[in-house]
A and B are shown apart, each in its own frame.
Chain A
């Protein structure tokens, strides 16, 4: 549940967003606190990734505002989004550019973060020589290289095999404990949101339709959560679309 006794690191206030005639977000509001890992779940096309792009400033909302207590945001992209022409070291060094570190200082920070995600030996490797899981972990290292107060994960385990998904989820949990950022995990993978998050928000058609503890999700009577958690056809989510 939200920690009401402290100030949120991130506040989403009444966000609306449309692409042409299609209204993607219809008044979404929530808060995220330091050290909390919030799961943003829902079916494809419900507005999760759009909301994430608005939070990190890649898109402007049509209405509403995003209040951030810190501008340091790390984003782990669904497809890793590493720059293939640069080494792992240089991919992380870009994020450190505005800190004006010396090369030795940069290298020290980068090595520390790579070690944290189990890629200490891949300092000079190119992204194309890494496996999908290693690329994802490099993307994690890049997201945390500035010790951000907010980390956003966009479908961090989508496309990975179950074993690698578990490895990635373990890293997310470990990073949450070590760095204590406010995290938002956008996913529709059951194991990811049930294992890694402290609180879950279910979105459908651009609105929040359920919010609560991930463990409560499986037993919830809310028709949307019941349908999503149990992955059934019966429920309000497919109404009008099948």
Chain B
């Protein structure tokens, strides 16, 4: 399914209007949940880091450590898990319902490839919106870090941001976006594959939805570790 979808995307054979609709569903509608989770994660993480670094007198390094965690791990994971829960489950349920109610069969009879019509627009939308959401989660987390650093460790925002600039490398952003793209691929491919390969009745819609969430989340965590291990392994 992945290569078939890529084939349609490379040849620009996907519905633009449906892609915009999916971008809205995947991205815009996820902003609130991503904001809340990124903010709370940023608060909690910054509080822990501030407390430990102040003990060692390294409070000027708080910004750098918080930013490293956010850019390398927390940003992509938070956005990935939230989108998997909100969007992956919804896609699996929608496509399974379409299978059960013969809507996919109707497309096939009209000689319309469901991968072209349903998967390609969702994948393009996810490829655009996942990095956007990850970046947004990272910035929300940083704002949370600045607030906590000021209130809990009395570190000024300027000091915090100086530490961020000195610590973060270009490679960190590359890895951040690589993880976002992998998350987008895992969420869309798993949920669409499960949705398009389920038959049966109403009960099977629920089973397919649960299966999509479980497999997507497990894969996100495993692949996140693999990318980290490959890109940041000690040499």
User: Interface residues, chain A, CB within 8 Å of chain B?
Assistant: 53, 56-58, 73-75, 77-79, 81-84, 94-95, 97-98, 142
Task: Kindly provide the distance from the CB of A204 to the nearest chain B CB, expressed in whole angstroms.
Answer: 25
Assuming the contacts A94-B112, A94-B117, A97-B112, asked whether A79 and B107 have C-beta atoms less than 8 A apart, the reply is: no
> CB distance B106 to A81 under 8 Å?
yes
* A57-B108, A78-B102, A83-B106 given; 15 more Cβ-contact pairs under 8 Å: A53-B105, A58-B108, A73-B109, A74-B109, A75-B106, A75-B109, A77-B102, A77-B105, A81-B103, A81-B105, A83-B107, A94-B107, A94-B112, A94-B117, A95-B112
CA distance A142 to B103 in the complex (A): 12
The one of B101, B102, B105, B110 that contacts A94, using a Cβ cutoff of 8 Å = B110
Beta-carbon contact of A82 and B103 below 8 Å: yes
Q: How far is the CA of A94 from the CA of B107 in the complex (A)?
A: 8
B103 touches A83 (CB 8 A): yes
B121 to chain A, nearest CB (A): 11
**Could you say which residues of chain B place their CB within 8 Å of the CB of A75?**
106, 109
Q: Which residues of A contact B112 (CB under 8 A)?
A: 94-95, 97
- B101, B111, B117: the one contacting A81 at CB < 8 Å is B101
For B109, list chain A residues within 8 Å (CB): 56-58, 73-75
**Is the Cβ of B110 less than 8 Å from the Cβ of A79?**
no
> What CA separation (Å) do A126 and B46 show in the bound complex?
49
List chain B residues, Cβ under 8 A from A74. Answer: 109
Cβ–Cβ < 8 Å partners of B103 in chain A: 81-84
B111 touches A79 (CB 8 A): no
27 A-B pairs with CB atoms under 8 Å apart are A53-B105, A56-B109, A57-B109, A58-B108, A58-B109, A73-B109, A74-B109, A75-B106, A75-B109, A77-B106, A78-B102, A79-B101, A79-B102, A81-B106, A82-B106, A83-B98, A83-B103, A83-B106, A83-B107, A94-B107, A94-B110, A94-B112, A94-B117, A95-B110, A95-B112, A98-B111, A142-B106
